[in-house]
Structure 1
């Protein structure tokens, strides 16, 4: 069978271009890597974690990052954390940490040389729980607070954006509703020790509840005393949060912002 000379030339050019640009044939390198810690399956937060993992898998693919999961702090040390640009405390309390993990985590945040942190919901369960003493450093990191109470039957409420220019809140409306949440209260307001990004309007609780902070109730904040970028988002119990466009935008913004650990953690003008 006779080969068309023009066809042969075209094939040659295709092969040559492929060799000259080998990156075009290789998968795109992830922009950053995330490790998420979530307690073993089971328990009251299991439905949220399942919904989160499904959403995170899609978000990672669309935004070119990777995500790995751990169920305890046993693997956490300096070498382990060096592999990741974001530590996502998806569903894990501030106790049951190994001493090695504590030391590595503190270094990760205080030096800003490792990566950033996003903590959800359970990360502020500070106190004496399950036979563990409170972790003083973590309490200080979260604004010097201790868990006091919560709304076990859930309440719908409106969250008001306070730091409108912060990248974590980019694209969010000035206020948005959360359908079902426990709305933790603490022994004191973290505001003097952290930068508050958003609050919950306690007057919008449906059903109403006496479990309140007295009007100023932060639910999203960042500790800018740390060199690493960090943000705490209280909401993180009910799986229906992943049907809430504002919440999904908030969480993706937080992950992307935290990943840029080499930038100024207090910067609110950075778009990443």
Structure 2
């Protein structure tokens, strides 16, 4: 009886400890993260946004950062951004001149950014034309969207820079979560400011299932995660879930957070971004 009482007391003490630790982490976070999103273009992107807004708060509780999210892009202003150390773009990008100016100044003054998948998309003509040279050509460096694989499938990724703080805990190659993979008009390898962190490994080919032949990649070099050394930023091509379009159920068929190694990278990327200013 005494043994069980001691075990109960120990368990209650442990629970109280973790409760207090969790409350302290929420009240005094190591850094603050805010995610911007639109969640209006493509059900696969909407699915990822909702999934991300469930996953990141859990990681915040575990690793000691706070996480907020907003679909109000007018919050991209100096006063609002001043209270956050890391900005996420879960999809799309700001379109209003004042929003763009505020974000550029935030990054040029040492802010941190993590962008996903459609956040880098630009195609002229489309709803998201390439009409922001600083963002697409200098900051992200990719230029415009050129093509993609279909349908969303997993890929084996090769870690190109294993010395970067975001990749030190990764194996040389790993299996990513299912995704629609993009390629771009600009040659990222030729840009001295770009540090390519991951690319599609050749063992992934053929990548994609079609049905159109150009939606299946058989060879080539495709960067999928990189950083611009002039800024505290990381872009990841992941962020497109598989959806049952054919069956017209719109059921989610995959999760962007189903890869343990990919999740480990995202956590380490956030912890690196939240450590302090680039300049």
Bin for the TM-score computed over the shorter chain: 0.7 to 0.9
Q: Residues of 1 paired with 2:39 and 2:135: CA distance? A: 22
- SS of residue matched to 1:176: strand
Determine which of 119, 128, 144 is the counterpart of 2:115. Answer: 119
**Residue pair 2:122, 2:128 contacting (<8 A) in 1 also:** no
Structure number with greater Rg is 1
Q: Residues of 1 paired with 2:278 and 2:127: CA distance? A: 38
**Residue pair 1:148, 1:186 contacting (<8 A) in 2 also:** yes
Give the equivalent residue in structure 2 for 1:73: 73
Shift of 1:207: 4.2
Q: 2:233 aligned with 1:230, yes or no?
A: yes
**Residue pair 1:164, 1:170 contacting (<8 A) in 2 also:** yes
> For residues 234-253 of structure 1, what are the structure 2 equivalents within 5 Å?
234-238=237-241, 239-253=254-268
Q: 2:214 aligned with 1:218, yes or no?
A: no
Give the equivalent residue in structure 2 for 1:154: 152
For structure 2, the residue ranges without an aligned partner over 5 or more in a row are 1-19, 242-253
- SS of residue matched to 1:240: coil
Shift of 1:174: 0.9
Shift of 1:203: 5.0
Q: Residues of 1 paired with 2:140 and 2:161: CA distance? A: 18
TM-score scaled by structure 1?
A: 0.78
Shift of 1:188: 2.7
- Bigger proportion of residues as strand: 1
For residues 159-193 of structure 1, what are the alpha-carbon distances to aligned partners after superposition, in whole Å with 9 as ceiling and x for unaligned? Answer: 00010011111311111112421111111322222
**CA distance 1:55–1:175, change in 2 (3 Å):** same
Determine which of 131, 134, 137 is the counterpart of 1:137. Answer: 134
**Residue pair 1:145, 1:190 contacting (<8 A) in 2 also:** no
**Residue pair 2:121, 2:145 contacting (<8 A) in 1 also:** yes
> For residues 196-215 of structure 1, what are the structure 2 equivalents within 5 Å?
196-205=196-205, 206-207=207-208, 210-211=214-215, 212=217, 215=220
Aligned residues: 235
Shift of 1:50: 2.0
Give the equivalent residue in structure 1 for 2:182: 184
Q: Residues of 2 paired with 1:76 and 1:260: CA distance? A: 21
**Residue pair 1:189, 1:217 contacting (<8 A) in 2 also:** no
Give the equivalent residue in structure 2 for 1:27: 24
Shift of 1:232: 0.6
| Displaced runs of 4 or more, over 4 A | 206-209, 211-214
**CA distance 1:188–1:133, change in 2 (3 Å):** closer
For structure 1, the residue ranges without an aligned partner over 5 or more in a row are 1-22, 265-272
Shift of 1:139: 1.2
